[in-house]
Amino acid sequence: MATNDMTAPARMLLKEIFGYSEFRGRQAEIIDHVVNGGHCLVLMPTGGGKSLCYQIPALLRNGIGIVISPLIALMENQVAALHKQGVRAAYLNSALVPEAAAAVERKMLAGEYDLVYVAPERLLTARFHALLQRIPIALFAIDEAHCVSQWGHDFRPEYGKLSVLPEKFPQVPRIALTASADARTRADILRCLDLREARAFISSFDRPNLCYRITARSNSRMQLLNFIRSQHAGESGIVYCQSRKKAEDTAAWLNLHSIPALAYHAGMETAVRTLHQKKFLLEKSTVMVATSAFGLGIDKPDIRFVAHLDLPKSIESYYQETGRAGRDGLPANAWMVYGPGDIIRLRSQAGTEQIPAPIRQAAAARLEALLALCETTDCRRKPLLGYFGESTGNQPCGNCDTCLETIPVRDATIAAQKALSCVYRTGQCFGTEYLIDILTGKQTDRIRQWQHDRISTFGIGQELSTEGWRIIFRHLLALGYLNAGEDRAGGERITLQLTPAARNVLRAETRITIRLLPRHQTPYPENSASLPTSLAPDACESELNNNLLAT
């Protein structure tokens, strides 16, 4: 297909309808691609400007742009904003009375819209299908496309059924947009929407103006107060808490200490909640203390900090929530405290028996990645951006706590070598807890059954506690020396495999350091035992070279 240069007409719309003089990031490329009939995946951080990527092509192409969106409130906001700009747009969702929905459908047939936002369940009805068959469609934009994935945290079964789009309307450009997709979720989107051959436009997720700081919790309220007083007096910020009660108590407590604060959570009366949101948006120096219910669609440019008093449930949530700070591009802080209590809470949430095994596994893997971000001794941006498949090229960012300050660390290379050897010696088909049992020399039935009490790594790790070994495994996973896979035997556990980089650790060419956790019993004795000769890097080396790391 010969492509037409749509730059000039797209630029004109950008200016005249949306009032902007320049495209941002990859917007121009994406718009050009879609206007010319191409399918694509657009991965762009929140606030990056995804909407224009389908709105402008919908205006330039013949027919109606159909936007699939999971959130009624966002749909309504978008349509209201478009109306202000003079764009002919409407939405169809369960909030509309049948007469109003019928009127929208009539106008669609009459060609009176450029954009129609639809809830996914509506798109799947036979009636709506029949309607779509009768009108020209400019494109399908699948917003929040990560909802197709069971592995993601926002799985929506109706989204999973959007595979009808490529089947029924193969010629209509499909543009899938999301701000949150790890590698697995991304693969699900490509499969479900048949975009494997399509172009992917992946923007950097880095927010250079955000300074990330994560510290161990001691007295979190005092820590928060000191943080706000010393760095953000008179400024606007969000404090995220896990529970509604904690959000309310913390807001009240901040007010007592002369920091103007409001609470926000889903359990509050709508009128109060809306009032608090409005005040926060308008006022220059109000702190919003909220649960994760707060934030969707919040576009306040001068939020100077986002503080977490509890760990969010995943790196994605952390990234989304911290991403609300510093939208104006000026320096802003992402500050968090965490402690063992968070780990226990999140582990128990992830492990509830009612949840199907694959989803539980995915949740566990997400949790491990989050903990690794907390505990890294390296630049925070490495695991953070790494989670979104982006490399920092090993360059320290210079704008996170680990880059800015010296942190107490301890060398754990020998322990790491023992752990990696144990994974290797047991055939790379077991999970962390079992491997720890072997390292610490537990005589369990399962170990005897597999005769793993006879291998060289049995009992060589007695110098560390179980928790100490968990930290080692977490680090190895986080830093990419181990991969978590599904149990090949169809069991419910995550199993660990070595990656090519593991060889460097076994050869002691890469040293592993771990953060010393304050207020914990340190998992390390002062003098770590040295590696037994049977496990010395050389003993594994040839085998590793031959069988294992050839990929």
Which of residues 379, 476, 477, 505 is near Zn ion by CB under 5 A? 379
Report the first-to-last Cα separation within the chain, whole angstroms.
38
Name the residue nearer to ligand ADP (CB basis): 84 or 454. Answer: 84
Choose the binding region for ligand ADP from 16-24, 126-134, 148-156, 160-168 (rule: CB under 6 A): 16-24
Tell me the CA distances in angstroms from 157 to 70, 129, 147, 152, 472, one per residue in order. 11, 18, 8, 12, 37
CB of residue 19 vs ligand ADP: minimum separation in angstroms? Answer: 8
Q: Residue 485 binds which entry of Zn ion, ligand ADP, none, with Cβ cut-offs from 5 to 8 Å by kind?
A: none
Provide DSSP, 111-124: T--SEEEE-HHHHT
How many other β-carbons are positioned within 10 Å of the β-carbon of residue 32? Answer: 20
| Alpha-carbon span 249 to 245, nearest angstrom | 6
Name the residue nearer to ligand ADP (CB basis): 22 or 99. Answer: 22
Q: Residue 397 binds which entry of Zn ion, ligand ADP, none, with Cβ cut-offs from 5 to 8 Å by kind?
A: Zn ion
Query: Using N-to-C axis directions, what is the helix angle for 7-16 and 27-35, rounded to 10°?
Result: 120
Cα angle 336-278-205, degrees, rounded to a multiple of 5: 40
Please choose, from the candidates 542, 525, 523, the residue with its C-alpha nearest in 3D space to the C-alpha of residue 436: 523
Cα angle 62-197-27, degrees, rounded to a multiple of 5: 55
Choose the binding region for ligand ADP from 46-54, 288-296, 362-370, 400-408 (rule: CB under 6 A): 46-54
CB of residue 400 vs Zn ion: minimum separation in angstroms? Answer: 3
* Per-residue mark of binding to Zn ion, 79-108 (x: CB under 5 A): ------------------------------
46 binds ligand ADP (CB under 6 A): yes
Choose the binding region for Zn ion from 266-274, 343-351, 377-385, 514-522 (rule: CB under 5 A): 377-385
CB of residue 287 vs ligand ADP: minimum separation in angstroms? Answer: 23
Q: Residue 51 binds which entry of Zn ion, ligand ADP, none, with Cβ cut-offs from 5 to 8 Å by kind?
A: ligand ADP
Name the residue nearer to ligand ADP (CB basis): 41 or 247. Answer: 41
Name the residue nearer to ligand ADP (CB basis): 18 or 253. Answer: 18
CB of residue 318 vs ligand ADP: minimum separation in angstroms? Answer: 17
Q: Residue 366 binds which entry of ligand ADP, Zn ion, none, with Cβ cut-offs from 5 to 8 Å by kind?
A: none
Q: Residue 180 binds which entry of Zn ion, ligand ADP, none, with Cβ cut-offs from 5 to 8 Å by kind?
A: none
Site size for ligand ADP (CB under 6 A):
14
Which of residues 34, 311, 385, 400 is near Zn ion by CB under 5 A? 400
Which of residues 6, 10, 40, 51 is near ligand ADP by CB under 6 A? 51
Choose the binding region for Zn ion from 73-81, 287-295, 366-374, 391-399 (rule: CB under 5 A): 391-399
Which of residues 15, 16, 20, 278 is near ligand ADP by CB under 6 A? 20
Q: Residue 379 binds which entry of Zn ion, ligand ADP, none, with Cβ cut-offs from 5 to 8 Å by kind?
A: Zn ion
CB of residue 410 vs ligand ADP: minimum separation in angstroms? Answer: 41
Name the residue nearer to ligand ADP (CB basis): 144 or 375. Answer: 144
Which of residues 6, 30, 43, 48 is near ligand ADP by CB under 6 A? 48
Please choose, from the candidates 411, 546, 439, 414, the residue with its C-alpha nearest in 3D space to the C-alpha of residue 496: 439
| Alpha-carbon span 430 to 543, nearest angstrom | 19
Q: Residue 44 binds which entry of ligand ADP, Zn ion, none, with Cβ cut-offs from 5 to 8 Å by kind?
A: ligand ADP
Q: In what order do the strands lie in the sheet with 115-118?
A: 89-92, 115-118, 64-68, 137-142, 174-178, 40-43, 199-202
Whose structure tokens read 């050897």? 421
Binders of Zn ion in range 118-157 (CB under 5 A): none
49 binds ligand ADP (CB under 6 A): yes
User: Are 273 and 280 contacting, i.e. CB atoms less than 8 angstroms apart?
Assistant: no
CB of residue 202 vs ligand ADP: minimum separation in angstroms? Answer: 13
Please choose, from the candidates 77, 82, 71, 93, the residue with its C-alpha nearest in 3D space to the C-alpha of residue 13: 82
Residue 246 token pair: 């904690």
| Alpha-carbon span 179 to 48, nearest angstrom | 9
Please choose, from the candidates 254, 206, 239, the residue with its C-alpha nearest in 3D space to the C-alpha of residue 321: 239
Name the residue nearer to ligand ADP (CB basis): 56 or 482. Answer: 56
| Alpha-carbon span 50 to 74, nearest angstrom | 13
Choose the binding region for ligand ADP from 43-51, 228-236, 398-406, 445-453 (rule: CB under 6 A): 43-51
| Alpha-carbon span 358 to 491, nearest angstrom | 10
Binders of ligand ADP in range 293-312 (CB under 6 A): 299
Classify strands 482-486 and 494-498 as parallel, antiparallel or unpaired. Answer: antiparallel
Residue 539 token pair: 């003993």
Name the residue nearer to ligand ADP (CB basis): 30 or 505. Answer: 30
166 binds ligand ADP (CB under 6 A): no
| Alpha-carbon span 265 to 247, nearest angstrom | 8
CA 94 from chain center: how many Å?
29
CB of residue 519 vs Zn ion: minimum separation in angstroms? Answer: 24
Question: What is Dmax (Cα atoms) for the chain?
Answer: 80
Cα angle 367-342-183, degrees, rounded to a multiple of 5: 15
Provide DSSP, 493-504: SEEEEE-TTHHH
307, 313, 316, 320: CA torsion to nearest 10: -40
Residue 288 token pair: 């919003």
CB of residue 338 vs Zn ion: minimum separation in angstroms? Answer: 18
Name the residue nearer to ligand ADP (CB basis): 46 or 185. Answer: 46
Choose the binding region for Zn ion from 92-100, 192-200, 351-359, 392-400 (rule: CB under 5 A): 392-400
Contact residues: Zn ion, CB under 5 A: 379, 397, 400, 403
Contact residues: ligand ADP, CB under 6 A: 20, 22-24, 27, 44, 46-52, 299
